[in-house]
Amino acid sequence: MSTTEFVVDRDTVVDEGESPRPRRQPLTRQRIVQAALRIMDEEGLEAVSMRHIGRALEVEAMSLYNHVRDKEEILDSICEEVLSGFRVPEARDWREAARAGAREYRRLLLAHPRVITLMTGRKGPVTNANSLKAYEFALGMFLDAGLTAPESVKALNALASYILGSVTLQLGLTISGPPDEARARAQQDMARLAAAADFPHLRECLPHFAESDVDDQFEFGLSLLIDAVAAKPRQEARRPPPPA
């Protein structure tokens, strides 16, 4: 005898004589991208595959192609998903905005460190306007500082390059930072090389690498960039906003 299906609420389905079971969420492009991001964060880029995403969403891998072109589109979309999480800071002036915006961008990269590889190799077009919030914020900040539009683009590229490089060094094996076993070994190896070679400046400064705090180092470099922008001759006033 067949059973009768009842909908108890919008998220639960009940067959007569059976206990309620959750209604399966419809498959969407956003769910696919979010699942791929979780896999990347937890297991690495190599683990992101159509089959693995399908298993995570409890669907056949072939059904993903109804929403995305291929794996490359998913990888590009991961970048946009991460950038969409940029929380636009509130700031009283462009200097405060620069610090808050840089810290927020760094936070995103540290939360999803493997996305750096995707960002540096990405070639596809932007498909999600929400992922452009960080660009809009930074360009407005530099225009408020009195830079011209071409200068604002160059300043944006310089700031983004600094943040990407800083996070990459923080996550990799460098001789700066807290004295864990790997860094201690790297510092000892460099000390031996410096002692054997005629590098007096390196010998003088080498002990301070171990004392370098990654957050202090980031703030120091950020201050150098902000001071450079402040020292640059600027326009008298920011250009008027473009017509709506």
Residue 168 is assigned to a structural domain of this protein: yes
* Alpha carbon distance 3, 107 (integer Å): 52
The CB-side HSE value for 64 (13 A sphere, CA atoms) comes to 26
Is residue 117 domain-shared with residue 55, that is, in the same domain?
no
User: What's the pLDDT score for residue 8?
Assistant: 38
Instruction: Please state the domain count of the chain.
Output: 2
Residue 154, Cβ neighbours under 10 Å: how many?
12
CATH number assigned to the domain comprising residue 60 = 1.10.10.60
Final residue before a domain boundary, out of 68, 95, 126: 68
| Residue 40 placed within a domain | yes
Q: Which pLDDT belongs to residue 9?
A: 42
Same domain, 33 and 110: no
Q: How far apart are CA 223 and CA 216, in angstroms?
A: 10
Distance CA 217, CA 166 (A): 9
Q: Give the per-residue pLDDT at 236.
A: 57
Q: Same domain, yes or no, for 99 and 154? A: yes
C-alpha closest to that of 208 among 172, 164, 176, 231: 176
- Note whether residue 191 is domain-resident: no
Q: What's residue 174's pLDDT?
A: 59
Domain that holds residue 98: 85-177+212-231
Residue 118 lies in a domain: yes
Q: Are residues 52 and 170 in the same domain?
A: no
pLDDT at 46: 94
Structure token digits, residue 117 = 């590889």
| 133 and 219, same domain (yes or no) | yes
Strand-pair category, 5-9 with 12-15: antiparallel
Assess if residue 186 is contained within a domain. no
Is there a single domain that holds both residue 97 and residue 218? Answer: yes
> What pLDDT does residue 121 have?
83
* CA dihedral (44, 50, 52, 54) positive or negative: positive
CA distance 48 to 201: 45
The per-residue pLDDT for range 51-107, each reduced to its tens digit, is 999 999 999 999 999 999 999 999 999 999 999 999 999 998 999 999 999 999 999
Are 121 and 216 members of one domain? yes
Listed as ranges, residues in the chain with pLDDT below 50 are: 1-14, 237
Position 205 in a domain: no
Q: Does residue 242 form part of some domain? A: no
pLDDT at residue 10, as a whole number: 42
In a domain, 203, yes or no: no
